[in-house]
Amino acid sequence: MGKSRTKRFRRPQFSPTGDCQVEAAAAANGTGGEEDDGPAAELLEKLQHPSAEVRECACAGLARLVQQRPALPGLTRRDAVRRLGPLLLDPSLAVRETAAGALRNLSACGGFEVCDDMVTKDIMTPLVALLKECSAGLDSNETSPQKKKDQNRNSIENIANEAVNVLWNICECSSRAVSIFNKEGCLEIVLKYLSRFSTNVDLAISVAYCLQTVTEDNPELLKCFSAEALHVLESAMLSPVKSLEYRLLKTLVAGTIWNLKDIIPCKSQAEIINAILKILSEVLEMDAGETVIRMKEAETQRLKTLAETEEILENANGDDLIEDDEMEEIPHKRKIRRKTFASDLLPPTDKELRETIALLTAQQTALEIIVNMCCSEDPSDDEWEELSSSDESDMFMENSLSECGGQLLSPLCLSHEIHTALTSYLIPKKIFEKTAFPNSIAVDLCSRNPTWKTLIRKMNTVQCRALVCLQSLVSLLDVDHLGGAPALQTLAQHLSQMLFSQPDFAKHADFLEAISSALRALLQTMASRNISQCLTPDQLMTLCKAGIHSSNVGVRVNVVSILGITGSILAKEDGTLETLKSIGCFLLEVATKDPSLVVAGEALDALFDVFADGKEAERASVQIKLLSTLKEFQPVFKMKIRKEGRGKYSTDQLCVLDNVKMNLRRFVAYQETVEKRLTS
């Protein structure tokens, strides 16, 4: 049915912090679905309060509230976007930051409709103005005294980080927002933020996410990339820092540079491909399970040491704990000195958790980039450039993309370079390893800690991405590059063992779609090379019976295709009559009763393959009354395409269905000759 891009997934949303916890918590406890909109109305009203502190607390409360889906209609009805928008340019920097945080959550939690509505309500005007002010503020701040410079820089960069995330979320969902990004010169602004990667990696990562989104299929923006802009990307991608957060940054920038492939000079193609795949290879080489275990142990030790230090200080000072010089005002105009604990001197941090999430996200992103690289159009032989494919990533700085000139290749055809670099960096092997189930010890550790529990899903997502990536590699690379026939048989056994080791595999839709897609591609490749299959007939039918009840159309298409691939091989062997009858009956059931025409068409295609040739197949077709069933179904299928086709299916799907319809007519004619011959 054609190739499709891997969809991108969002990061955990903004969560407000600071001194507004009481009001934010009150908002979080609201129902949001009540007729008077409960806390929503009150919080939106407070956005106009003359006190900056009250406005800040209201923004923080809204940032929490928008994460509750039932609250979104009420906020939309009360025009929350138009009320929050002006606060992006509030005189108070704290209000700006929390307002941007609320809009970040709204854009992330609301999805496509909310983001499109935000563009309609002109959120881009104050957002772009804020981004420009932050950029100018960072420039003017360079002349301030050092202490004030550091404070201002941190505030401005925090605001910029929230604003960039709003920009990214909206651009990911709205083509109108991307058009505004292009016209308003946002590229120059965000690249200035990215250039600060050595001092603020969080801001740089947010920019890299945004750039990866806006550079995809955006030829208008590609024209705006100057040599200086490319140099900023190059510097970030080749940063020598090895921390996990920097690995994520470099991976995201590598994805952006891949999106710029159409403007890369041809003399730099080999260097670019090698530099990108070297970064992806290094990320995939890391053992995420071991990293989870190591980081969790480090966090446990750090918290233990902190608690021991706190206890020592308490024992040493008794009631006279360390006193803060700052006076804190409370109601009734009475002032007290705030007691300060060791944990106040060392601000709470989730450093270990953040770094672990960065690694898992980097691995997921790396796998998605490889899928996109594999899905780029295959060139004709005369379009391939005769370039060296040696490991030139270390020479990249000497012959940088920003300094390269010369003729561009249009379209830029890099398949040969991709094939060579993929195998030279052992990427297929690393992807195979990532298809395994997550480390059980790491999963157990995470399951026992609420803040780490979300990592289980991230580890499972990496596994699913690896399976999708495996599907692309198997379809793209030569068998020799994949390790030859023995390696493919081992891989097929590995996938089938993983599948059947999970008794409830049918309940995990993402996993089932990913592994069935990989298995389908692998079995197709093995069949085309006459490599013996690994699934037994019983396993095959178990998989298909479980998968065909999935609500996911992709899963149903995959299992039907797998049945067709295996059945067409069995049709040429002796002693397979009963198995072929089971396969035929199953496919007929799917073709005539599945609600999706795409699945029904795939089932018919599988029937054509299975019963196209072979004595056992001919005998089985007569015994299951294949001809009479298909003749009866033929007008029904034709009518369904005519009635349902235009409204429910894409042009490509309709073309495929039309081909199936024609092939069905020919197959019925062929079966008539078979039946006459066998019954005469």
Residue-wise pLDDT for 53-80, tens only, equals 999 999 999 999 998 888 888 888 899 9
Helix (H, G, I), strand (E, B) or coil at 607: helix
Specify the pTM.
0.82
Q: What is the pLDDT of residues 529-581, one digit of tens each?
A: 999 887 888 888 888 988 999 999 999 999 999 999 999 999 989 999 999 99
Instruction: Tell me what pLDDT residue 388 has.
Output: 33
Instruction: Give the best-scoring range by mean pLDDT among 137-151, 272-286, 495-509.
Output: 272-286
Q: What is the pLDDT of residues 654-676, one digit of tens each?
A: 999 999 999 999 999 999 999 88
On the question of pLDDT at 471 being above 50, the answer is yes
Mean pLDDT, the chain, whole residue set? 84
On the question of pLDDT at 248 being above 90, the answer is yes
**What band does 267 get if pLDDT is binned at 50, 70 and 90?**
confident
Contact between 286 and 360 under an 8 Å Cβ cutoff? The reply is no
On the question of pLDDT at 520 being above 90, the answer is yes
Q: Which residues of 405-418 are buried (b: 16+ CB within 10 A; e: fewer)?
A: eeeebeebbbbbbb
On the question of pLDDT at 402 being above 50, the answer is no
Q: What is the pLDDT of residues 256-265, one digit of tens each?
A: 999 998 888 8
On the question of pLDDT at 127 being above 70, the answer is yes
Task: Fill in the amino acid letter for 53.
Answer: E
Q: What is the pLDDT of residues 423-445, one digit of tens each?
A: 888 899 999 999 999 999 999 99
Q: For 499-520, what is the mean pLDDT?
A: 87
Q: What is the pLDDT of residues 626-636, one digit of tens each?
A: 999 999 999 99
**What band does 147 get if pLDDT is binned at 50, 70 and 90?**
low
Rounded to 10°, the helix 440-447/288-317 angle is: 40
Percent of the chain with pLDDT over 90: 61
Contact between 296 and 445 under an 8 Å Cβ cutoff? The reply is yes
Choose between 596 and 386: higher pLDDT: 596
Instruction: Tell me what pLDDT residue 582 has.
Output: 95
What is the DSSP code string of 408-436?
A: BPSS---HHHHHHHHHHTTHHHHHHHHTS
On the question of pLDDT at 339 being above 60, the answer is no
**What band does 500 get if pLDDT is binned at 50, 70 and 90?**
confident
Contact between 220 and 252 under an 8 Å Cβ cutoff? The reply is no
Q: What is the pLDDT of residues 9-43, one digit of tens each?
A: 343 343 433 344 444 444 444 444 444 557 888 99
On the question of pLDDT at 156 being above 80, the answer is yes
Instruction: Tell me what pLDDT residue 309 has.
Output: 85
The dihedral sign for the CA sequence 511, 517, 519, 520: positive
Instruction: Tell me what pLDDT residue 151 has.
Output: 63
Q: For 281-310, what is the mean pLDDT?
A: 93
Instruction: Give the best-scoring range by mean pLDDT among 282-291, 318-327, 344-353, 389-398.
Output: 282-291
Backbone φ and ψ of 572, nearest 5°: -95, 0
- Separation of alpha carbons 113 and 107, rounded Å: 9
* Burial class for 42, CB neighbours closer than 10 Å (0-12, 13-18, 19+): middle
Instruction: Tell me what pLDDT residue 40 has.
Output: 87
Instruction: Tell me what pLDDT residue 143 has.
Output: 54
Q: Kindly list the distances between the CA atom of residue 595 and the CA atoms of 162, 453, 552, 598, 648, in Å, as whole numbers in the listed order.
A: 45, 37, 12, 9, 12
Instruction: Tell me what pLDDT residue 148 has.
Output: 55
Task: Fill in the amino acid letter for 519.
Answer: L
**What band does 406 get if pLDDT is binned at 50, 70 and 90?**
very low
On the question of pLDDT at 601 being above 90, the answer is yes
